[in-house]
Protein backbone atom coordinates (compact mmCIF):
# COMPACT_ATOMS: atom_id res chain seq x y z
CA UNK A 1 0.00 0.00 0.00
CA UNK A 2 1.41 3.35 -1.03
CA UNK A 3 1.45 6.05 1.62
CA UNK A 4 2.24 9.70 0.96
CA UNK A 5 2.58 11.95 3.98
CA UNK A 6 3.21 15.71 3.94
CA UNK A 7 4.55 17.83 6.76
CA UNK A 8 5.91 21.29 7.38
CA UNK A 9 2.89 23.49 6.82
CA UNK A 10 1.96 26.30 9.14
CA UNK A 11 1.28 30.00 9.59
CA UNK A 12 3.85 32.48 8.38
CA UNK A 13 3.94 36.19 7.67
CA UNK A 14 4.27 37.50 4.15
CA UNK A 15 7.89 37.49 3.09
CA UNK A 16 8.68 34.51 5.27
CA UNK A 17 9.73 30.98 4.39
CA UNK A 18 8.51 27.45 4.93
CA UNK A 19 9.88 24.09 3.93
CA UNK A 20 7.42 21.33 3.15
CA UNK A 21 8.45 17.70 3.24
CA UNK A 22 6.87 14.55 1.94
CA UNK A 23 7.72 10.95 2.70
CA UNK A 24 6.61 8.05 0.54
CA UNK A 25 6.41 4.36 1.37
CA UNK A 26 5.17 1.34 -0.51
CA UNK A 27 6.52 2.62 -3.81
CA UNK A 28 9.85 2.50 -5.57
CA UNK A 29 10.31 6.19 -4.84
CA UNK A 30 13.45 6.67 -6.87
CA UNK A 31 11.80 5.41 -10.04
CA UNK A 32 9.05 7.98 -10.42
CA UNK A 33 8.44 11.67 -10.83
CA UNK A 34 7.04 13.60 -7.89
CA UNK A 35 5.07 16.79 -7.61
CA UNK A 36 3.57 19.41 -5.36
CA UNK A 37 0.08 20.79 -5.85
CA UNK A 38 -2.09 23.22 -3.93
CA UNK A 39 -5.76 23.95 -3.55
CA UNK A 40 -7.92 26.60 -1.96
CA UNK A 41 -11.60 26.13 -1.12
CA UNK A 42 -13.84 26.34 -4.14
CA UNK A 43 -11.00 26.19 -6.62
CA UNK A 44 -9.42 23.41 -8.65
CA UNK A 45 -6.20 21.83 -7.54
CA UNK A 46 -3.28 23.69 -9.09
CA UNK A 47 0.13 22.34 -9.92
CA UNK A 48 3.08 24.01 -8.21
CA UNK A 49 6.17 22.07 -9.16
CA UNK A 50 7.35 18.67 -10.29
CA UNK A 51 10.65 16.82 -10.44
CA UNK A 52 11.84 13.90 -12.50
CA UNK A 53 12.80 10.55 -11.02
CA UNK A 54 16.46 11.45 -10.59
CA UNK A 55 16.04 15.15 -9.88
CA UNK A 56 17.68 16.17 -13.13
CA UNK A 57 14.63 18.03 -14.41
CA UNK A 58 12.27 20.28 -12.52
CA UNK A 59 9.41 22.54 -13.49
CA UNK A 60 7.57 25.23 -11.56
CA UNK A 61 4.54 27.30 -12.43
CA UNK A 62 5.12 30.95 -13.20
CA UNK A 63 3.42 32.21 -10.05
CA UNK A 64 6.08 30.67 -7.81
CA UNK A 65 9.09 30.81 -10.09
CA UNK A 66 12.13 32.19 -8.32
CA UNK A 67 10.53 31.67 -4.91
CA UNK A 68 9.84 27.93 -4.63
CA UNK A 69 12.36 25.13 -5.14
CA UNK A 70 11.58 21.44 -5.34
CA UNK A 71 14.12 18.78 -4.41
CA UNK A 72 14.25 15.10 -3.60
CA UNK A 73 16.44 12.61 -1.76
CA UNK A 74 16.01 9.15 -3.23
CA UNK A 75 18.04 7.59 -0.45
CA UNK A 76 15.56 8.83 2.14
CA UNK A 77 12.38 8.62 -0.01
CA UNK A 78 11.68 12.27 0.65
CA UNK A 79 10.50 15.20 -1.42
CA UNK A 80 10.85 18.80 -0.29
CA UNK A 81 9.48 22.16 -1.34
CA UNK A 82 11.40 25.19 -0.14
CA UNK A 83 9.12 28.21 -0.23
CA UNK A 84 10.65 31.65 0.14
CA UNK A 85 9.22 35.14 0.01
CA UNK A 86 5.76 33.79 0.65
CA UNK A 87 2.73 35.84 -0.35
CA UNK A 88 -0.83 35.76 0.98
CA UNK A 89 -1.84 34.31 -2.39
CA UNK A 90 0.22 31.21 -1.56
CA UNK A 91 -2.23 30.30 1.19
CA UNK A 92 -3.60 26.87 0.37
CA UNK A 93 -3.60 23.21 1.23
CA UNK A 94 -0.45 21.73 -0.28
CA UNK A 95 -0.39 18.18 -1.58
CA UNK A 96 2.46 15.87 -2.45
CA UNK A 97 1.90 13.41 -5.26
CA UNK A 98 3.75 10.50 -6.82
CA UNK A 99 3.54 9.65 -10.49
CA UNK A 100 3.82 6.31 -12.25
CA UNK A 101 6.14 7.72 -14.86
CA UNK A 102 9.76 8.77 -14.59
CA UNK A 103 9.50 12.14 -16.26
CA UNK A 104 8.07 15.38 -14.95
CA UNK A 105 5.52 16.17 -17.66
CA UNK A 106 4.83 19.71 -16.52
CA UNK A 107 4.22 21.26 -13.14
CA UNK A 108 0.52 21.85 -13.76
CA UNK A 109 -0.26 18.46 -15.22
CA UNK A 110 -1.94 16.36 -12.54
CA UNK A 111 -3.03 13.61 -14.90
CA UNK A 112 0.07 11.50 -14.50
CA UNK A 113 0.07 11.57 -10.70
CA UNK A 114 -1.60 8.61 -9.06
CA UNK A 115 -0.76 8.66 -5.38
CA UNK A 116 -1.68 11.62 -3.21
CA UNK A 117 -1.16 12.66 0.37
CA UNK A 118 -3.74 14.21 2.67
CA UNK A 119 -2.20 17.66 2.45
CA UNK A 120 -0.60 20.19 4.75
CA UNK A 121 -2.02 23.66 5.27
CA UNK A 122 0.03 26.74 4.50
CA UNK A 123 -1.33 30.09 5.63
CA UNK A 124 0.44 33.33 4.81
CA UNK A 125 -0.70 36.43 6.66
CA UNK A 126 -0.33 39.91 5.25
In this predicted model, what pLDDT tens digit does every residue of 74-109 receive, in sequence order?
A: 999 999 999 999 999 999 999 999 999 999 998 888
Q: What is the largest CA-CA distance in the chain?
A: 40
* Rounded distance between C-alpha atoms, residue 117 and residue 53, angstroms: 18
* Rounded distance between C-alpha atoms, residue 62 and residue 9, angstroms: 21
What whole-number percentage of the chain has pLDDT above 90?
Answer: 93
Q: Give how far Cα 34 sits from Cα of 43, 58, 93, 110, 117, Å.
A: 22, 10, 17, 10, 12
pLDDT in tens, 16-33: 999 999 999 999 999 999
- Does residue 55 sit in helix, strand or coil? coil
Is the predicted pLDDT of residue 54 greater than 90, yes or no? yes
Amino acid sequence: QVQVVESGGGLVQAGGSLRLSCTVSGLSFGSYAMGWFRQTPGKERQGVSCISWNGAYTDVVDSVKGRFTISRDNNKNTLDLQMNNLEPEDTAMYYCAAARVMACLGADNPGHFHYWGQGTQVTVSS
